[in-house]
Amino acid sequence: MTNLPDSASPVAPGTVAQAGPLLESLQQSLRDEYSVVRLPDDVATLDPAVAAAVRAVVTSGRVGVGSELMAALPNLEIVTNFGVGYDTTDVAQAAARGIRVANTPDVLTDCVADTALGLMLDVFRRFGASERFLRDGRWESGGFPLTRRFSGSTVGVLGLGRIGQAIARRAAAFDTTILYTTRRPVEGVPWEHVPSAVDLARRSDVLVVAVPGGASTEGLVDAEVIRALGPDGFLVNIARGSVVDEDALIVALESGEIAGAGLDVFAHEPHVPERLIRDDVTLLPHVGSGTTETRQDMRDLTLANLRAHLAGEPLPTPVPETPAG
């Protein structure tokens, strides 16, 4: 559990605002501690007097504080993001204006890595598909087709940060060979760094994507990377839908250029393209961090960052691009 600083002294009504829906218990804590305003989805309808009072916005990775909303909040001091990924918040504008941004790293790493392992096991062994086979009564007419062995395979991890390393540690317990790609090799890890994502895919049985979203990684897993996996290769994405060229993935699946995919994230959530809903694709509705325990820890850390800011203290978990204290 996170150590929480004491609640800040009362702040003026309207100082703290909420952008987008939040975990119910986080909303409740915000309502209990502050007189919170809910920002409208359409920035054009934001009352300038309301906007002027806002010093802190609490949001989630799904919604964030984008360029337009941030520009409409002249006295904004902090964005506290429920989630480690903050690609929906305009950090460049925040940095330029001295606005702090905080996120919720580490507390969700284990659950997201567990999800990646679940997806990897499912795409190799097809447990979901075989359960559907049984439930549909098809076992009476013959056994389920043979699947693929995960143990001993080669796992390529694209992005070896907190979550990527937790995935690699877990996969290593299955006697796999771990390879990884990052822009800079990670010191002190026992795994081989492969500089290019295409080479990583070519050498891997499964490519698992664990880089941040945003402009710098948009389409990083393009048609060439996907094709490099080959007809026996799998793609698993627990990062952001924007990192993978979804159209290229569909084409590769339909033409048999890769063997299957396991996806927790999509380009236009909650929309999932009809053509991705296939038996060789395991689809999850962005549930990587979605356990009671982890969501409580994320809530506590979101509140800890907000309280620390309002108390004039350093933030527990500032993002690297914006001021910490």
| Cα dist from 322 to 17, 81, 99, 232, whole Å | 20, 13, 7, 43
Give the one residue of 140, 143, 183, 292 binding ligand NAP; rule: CB under 6 A. Answer: 183
| Contact status: 182 vs ligand NAP (CB under 6 A) | yes
Size of the site for ligand NAP (CB under 6 A): 30
CB 114 → ligand 8YV: shortest distance, Å? 13
Give the one residue of 16, 73, 99, 239 binding ligand NAP; rule: CB under 6 A. Answer: 239
- Contact in structure between 269 and 241 (CB atoms under 8 Å): yes
- The residues, any chain, with a CB within 8 Å of residue 84's CB and separated by 6 or more, are 61, 103, 104, 105, 108, 162, 163
Residue 263 per-residue DSSP state: E
- Contact in structure between 295 and 271 (CB atoms under 8 Å): no
| Contact status: 200 vs ligand NAP (CB under 6 A) | no
| Contact status: 225 vs ligand NAP (CB under 6 A) | no
**In which residue are the tokens 């890769």 written?**
258
| Beta-sheet strands, E only, within 75-130 | 78-82, 100-102
Pick 181 or 289: Cβ nearer ligand 8YV: 289
| Cα dist from 113 to 28, 64, 171, 193, 235, whole Å | 29, 23, 10, 20, 15
| Contact status: 210 vs ligand NAP (CB under 6 A) | yes
Looking at 13-21, 91-99, 210-218, 303-311, which segment touches ligand NAP (CB under 6 A)? 210-218
Alpha-carbon distance of 49 to 127, in angstroms, equals: 55
Active site residue 286: yes
**In which residue are the tokens 């790293």 written?**
105
Q: Which does 213 bind (CB under 5 to 8 A by kind): ligand 8YV, ligand NAP, none?
A: ligand NAP
Alpha-carbon distance of 204 to 157, in angstroms, equals: 9
CB 190 → ligand NAP: shortest distance, Å? 16
Give the one residue of 5, 14, 66, 212 binding ligand NAP; rule: CB under 6 A. Answer: 212
Active site residue 269: yes
Looking at 117-125, 158-166, 169-177, 225-233, which segment touches ligand NAP (CB under 6 A)? 158-166
Residue among 55, 240, 307, 309 flagged as catalytic: 240
Residue among 202, 286, 295, 299 flagged as catalytic: 286
Which residues face 178 on adjacent strands?
155
Which residues contact ligand NAP (rule: CB under 6 A)?
Answer: 84-85, 105, 108, 112, 159-164, 181-184, 210-213, 216-217, 220, 238-240, 264-265, 286, 288-289
Active site residues: 240, 269, 286
